[in-house]
Structure 1
Amino acid sequence: MNNNKEMNPMIESETIELKKSTSELKEGVISIVSILNKHHKGKLYFGITNNGRVVGQQVTENTLREVSKAISEKIEPKIYPEVRKETIDGKDCVAVEFKGENTPYFAYGRAYMRVADEDRQISAKELENIILKKSAAKWDSIISDGIIDEIDEQELKEFVQKANQAGRIAFKYSNRKNVLEKLSLIKDGRLLNAAKLLFSKKEPIELQAAVFAGTDKTTFLDIKQFKGNIFQLLKISEAYIKEHINWKALLKERTRQEIPEIPIRAITEALVNSFCHRDYQAPESNKIAIYKDRIEIWNPGEFPDRYKPDDYIKQELPSILRNPMIANCLYLSADIEKWGSGLKRINMECKANNLPVKLRVLKYGFSIEFTRQNTGSSSSTLSEGLSEGLKSLLNIVISNPGIKAIKASELLVRPIKTIERQIKELKQKGLIERRGSKKTGGYWIVKQ
């Protein structure tokens, strides 16, 4: 992004730091930390002297990467700044805009505090006070800019009903204000962050979901971006996975039971874990990636220090909550069964179904990965008596449920008219069917 600006002479302040060039990158990183520890947001410019004179500097993609890398590697906890090229008074500069509430922040292993336009190392006593203050207020308990009118009343009613049925709250629904007060989700007429994320009509959270043709991200068959509150996205994400996994039919006398390749209970637990424990200050979205051989559910946010996922499976450990108010509401609605038991329950469900599952702590987040099973129709039995052309198309549909004709044409490198003719033949033989609308639908194996 290249912004052209003409500016009045800029001066350094408690929230603005100026550096002549990226040769002062280390000092700039320290300034970011010192500003965050006092004001939680600020700006840093390279290419402007500390007296406000714009001198500019060479700014390439590599320059922006180096700045981003230094910030990523040298600041703890992680922050997610916007690093961009700006043309100021006709000269190229680097602008860094940053924010963060997860104090104290450290640069190169030390904590700093902004005093006027200088960065001063924090004393042990000051650091202790910051930590004590932080422990008293989590991000989800901070007052947001939301108001009661933006609360989705129907969603709140459904929540109260579920919590009543679970026997975890005794009061009935009356009105939005009363319910939010009883849940301690409102203060001075303003929504806490937790209330906004759980119940807002203004779609505060984004979810990215995609289905890929193979075992990597080279070719995607479907990609969606959903927005909503936590309860809405829990429903949407579970429905999306159910739609794109394989199911087998178990026939018993006159009954037919549909069995998914991955236990739905395990999927639900993984999704709740993802939305409950994510870092909502990070700009990244929750992600669902459905590959040919696995399903990954990812959220931004570091795993608790000193622990590994296996510790929560093998031991009875207390849950370390990044978002305790959100977690409490998910517990009241019985979306969380018991504190600290989610990963253990996922492991038990998968183990009972002989399904491998991986719990992966990544650099910028946490991922739960389910190995897919071939529970759908077998290509060897379905393709008997078919031509090679029909067999290959049938295999593509088996491997990629919901595939569109145009995507099958691309994967098989076959003219679209040929694909459409072969689809017609497979439909006539009762092997595949079309589901969904003309615009968004695709082809699926007919369950035998």
Structure 2
Amino acid sequence: MKVIRKMSLVNIGPETETIEYKKSTGEMKEAMISIAAILNKHKKGVLYFGVKNDGTVIGQVITDESLRKVSQAIGNHITPAIYPEIKAVRIGERECIQVDFEGNRQPYLAYSIPRIRVADEDLIMEQDIYDEMIRKRDNVKYSWERQVSEYTLQDIDKNAFDSYLQKAKDAGRISFEETDVKTVLNKLELIQGDHLLNAGAALFCNCGINELQMAKFATNERLTFTDIRRFTGSIMELSKRAEQYIIDAMDWRVEIGSGLSRKEIPEIPLDAIREAIINSFGHKLFDSGQSNEVAIFKDRIEIYNPGAFPTGVSPEKFIEGNERPVRRNPLITRTLYYSKDMESFATGLKRIYTACKAAGCRVEFEQQAYGFAVIFYRRNTSTQDGPQDSTQDKHQDNTQDSLQNRILEYCKMPRSKKEITVYMGYKDVKSFAKRYLKPLCEAGELQMTIPDRPSSRNQKYVTVEKKEEK
């Protein structure tokens, strides 16, 4: 006789103001309403499909399609947009869907109606509460930038901060003499007590506020990638990482000038690349839950930032110079203005367009549903007529040159092998040191801080200052 084993039922406790249960994805609309209501009350929560209201786990059949339907329902029916984590989980002996969600852009609407969580109920929000949430969201003093973060002075990337301060002083846009971190941040209005505001943490802390995803794709489509990397850190650090990633991926050509001097020219102007990268952080919608992205295809390079383009205007208006600046993050953009990383007169897109036009590089500005992308089109050297040089060899040579220059710039202050390797986006410290650090040391451009003990655990590398010729 065939014995059928009955699976035991597990109970994971009652619903709360931040935990919601649904028996199956057949209750999708009710689930969307609960997510919005919890967000409006608590800013984050968790929802399970496959659990009864009393906490009894009954499970449900889960496929890629069922996970996709949850994601699509959230994208289609909850506004402003959120980006939850949706995954299949096993509770006891049964499969369930777990949705972890959070957001700071209250009020959230589900099916165009705002609701708020009260105990385990989702009640329609009163008009006064809705109006107050709108005022807070749109009022600068309640903005994400000005909220006090969990990060303190101890979390600051001192190298990034020192580099920024020197750059701002060299630009003549910061005139005070103080260099103490807390004093400077006070003057920049980026700190409250011992805690940084979100804007200050985003700019200078190695924390999870910023995430940068970068990938190279084998073709012109988002199908097969040949490299993918993800980093968190400060705006100052991640903007450099993004720039170097693109520099390493681009093709370069060499022009021979008078006296046989060599001039290396990238397929996309570096000034335009830098402008697009720093703008992608300066105008990011930080509480969207999305990452900044760099995507490199065979025919183009895309730089994406979360946060839709300002309503009612187009990129062309800014290129023509007819629009006043729209600052989503005024504290961040003002701080970057002091260091000349950004300007404050809505000229960023125009500078990108002008630099690309002068270089004969096609550029497009794409407004997307939840973000904005600058798209640089690459030169297709493989279709040119006539004999061709070894583009791959040239690219590899120039890539190594640019990476070495980057190392020398980074090592103006002593750095360990691991620090250099991680900063450049590599993992294998031993291989990286042999391929890049050793040649620089042999060439006299880089030196050890403890040369008589090469294997010292305290060993660091520093750039050799070149003596000026008289």
TM-score band w.r.t. shorter chain: 0.7 to 0.9
* C-alpha separation in 1, matches of 2:318 and 2:192: 34
1:285 partner amino acid: S
* 1:101 corresponding residue in structure 2: 104
Greater alpha carbon shift after TM alignment, 145-154 vs 50-59: 50-59
Structure-2 change in CA distance of 1:6 and 1:174 (3 Å) = farther
Structure-2 change in CA distance of 1:349 and 1:6 (3 Å) = farther
Is the 8 Å Cα contact of residues 281 and 305 (structure 2) preserved in structure 1?
yes
- Summarize the alignment of residues 176-325 of structure 1 with structure 2, pairs less than 5 Å apart: 176-202=181-207, 205-217=210-222, 220-254=225-259, 255-325=261-331
- The alpha-carbon deviation at position 7 of structure 1 amounts to 6.3
* C-alpha separation in 1, matches of 2:223 and 2:86: 28
Identity across the alignment (%): 41
Structure-2 change in CA distance of 1:215 and 1:395 (3 Å) = farther
Instruction: Provide the secondary structure at the position in 2 that maps to 1:313.
Output: helix
Instruction: Establish whether residue 145 from structure 1 lines up as the match of residue 150 from structure 2.
Output: yes
Q: How many pairs does the alignment contain?
A: 396
TM-score by length of 2: 0.76
- The alpha-carbon deviation at position 67 of structure 1 amounts to 1.2
* C-alpha separation in 1, matches of 2:52 and 2:242: 49
* 1:373 corresponding residue in structure 2: 379
Is the 8 Å Cα contact of residues 152 and 199 (structure 1) preserved in structure 2?
yes
Instruction: Establish whether residue 334 from structure 1 lines up as the match of residue 340 from structure 2.
Output: yes
Is the 8 Å Cα contact of residues 11 and 56 (structure 2) preserved in structure 1?
no
- Summarize the alignment of residues 23-38 of structure 1 with structure 2, pairs less than 5 Å apart: 23-38=26-41
Is the 8 Å Cα contact of residues 17 and 45 (structure 1) preserved in structure 2?
yes
2:215 partner amino acid: A
* C-alpha separation in 2, matches of 1:164 and 1:261: 32
Instruction: Establish whether residue 79 from structure 1 lines up as the match of residue 77 from structure 2.
Output: no
* C-alpha separation in 2, matches of 1:113 and 1:176: 41
* 1:154 corresponding residue in structure 2: 159
* C-alpha separation in 1, matches of 2:221 and 2:81: 27
Greater alpha carbon shift after TM alignment, 208-217 vs 226-235: 208-217
Instruction: Provide the secondary structure at the position in 1 that maps to 2:81.
Output: coil
Structure-2 change in CA distance of 1:253 and 1:92 (3 Å) = closer
* C-alpha separation in 2, matches of 1:154 and 1:395: 36
Is the 8 Å Cα contact of residues 155 and 205 (structure 2) preserved in structure 1?
yes
Q: CA RMSD in A?
A: 3.1
Of residues 338, 341, 346, the one that matches 2:352 is 346
- The alpha-carbon deviation at position 75 of structure 1 amounts to 0.6
* 2:404 corresponding residue in structure 1: none
* C-alpha separation in 1, matches of 2:73 and 2:309: 22
Is the 8 Å Cα contact of residues 252 and 395 (structure 2) preserved in structure 1?
no
Structure-2 change in CA distance of 1:10 and 1:311 (3 Å) = farther
* 1:388 corresponding residue in structure 2: none
Is the 8 Å Cα contact of residues 60 and 96 (structure 2) preserved in structure 1?
yes
Instruction: Provide the secondary structure at the position in 2 that maps to 1:85.
Output: strand
- The alpha-carbon deviation at position 357 of structure 1 amounts to 0.6
* C-alpha separation in 1, matches of 2:228 and 2:20: 40
Structure-2 change in CA distance of 1:253 and 1:187 (3 Å) = same
Structure-2 change in CA distance of 1:403 and 1:163 (3 Å) = closer
2:322 partner amino acid: E
Instruction: Provide the secondary structure at the position in 2 that maps to 1:194.
Output: helix
- The alpha-carbon deviation at position 204 of structure 1 amounts to 5.0
Query: Unpaired segments of 5 or more residues in structure 1?
Result: 384-393, 405-435, 442-448
- The alpha-carbon deviation at position 376 of structure 1 amounts to 11
TM-score by length of 1: 0.79
Instruction: Provide the secondary structure at the position in 2 that maps to 1:281.
Output: helix
* C-alpha separation in 2, matches of 1:403 and 1:148: 36
Is the 8 Å Cα contact of residues 334 and 344 (structure 2) preserved in structure 1?
no
* C-alpha separation in 2, matches of 1:93 and 1:253: 70
Query: Unpaired segments of 5 or more residues in structure 2?
Result: 1-7, 401-431, 438-470
2:211 partner amino acid: E
* C-alpha separation in 2, matches of 1:159 and 1:403: 26
Greater alpha carbon shift after TM alignment, 293-302 vs 144-153: 293-302
Greater alpha carbon shift after TM alignment, 252-261 vs 217-226: 217-226
Cα displacement string for residues 226-256 of structure 1 (whole angstroms, at most 9, x for unaligned residues): 4431111222222222233233333332243
* 2:113 corresponding residue in structure 1: 110
* 2:175 corresponding residue in structure 1: 170
1:341 partner amino acid: T
- The alpha-carbon deviation at position 374 of structure 1 amounts to 5.4
Structure-2 change in CA distance of 1:29 and 1:229 (3 Å) = same
Instruction: Provide the secondary structure at the position in 1 that maps to 2:387.
Output: helix
* C-alpha separation in 1, matches of 2:218 and 2:10: 50
* 2:419 corresponding residue in structure 1: none
* C-alpha separation in 2, matches of 1:6 and 1:229: 47
Structure-2 change in CA distance of 1:252 and 1:53 (3 Å) = closer
- The alpha-carbon deviation at position 291 of structure 1 amounts to 2.5
Structure-2 change in CA distance of 1:131 and 1:52 (3 Å) = same
Is the 8 Å Cα contact of residues 208 and 233 (structure 2) preserved in structure 1?
yes
* C-alpha separation in 1, matches of 2:175 and 2:436: 44
Is the 8 Å Cα contact of residues 33 and 112 (structure 1) preserved in structure 2?
yes
- The alpha-carbon deviation at position 342 of structure 1 amounts to 1.1
1:335 partner amino acid: D
2:48 partner amino acid: Y
- The alpha-carbon deviation at position 363 of structure 1 amounts to 3.2
- The alpha-carbon deviation at position 89 of structure 1 amounts to 4.1
Structure-2 change in CA distance of 1:258 and 1:173 (3 Å) = farther
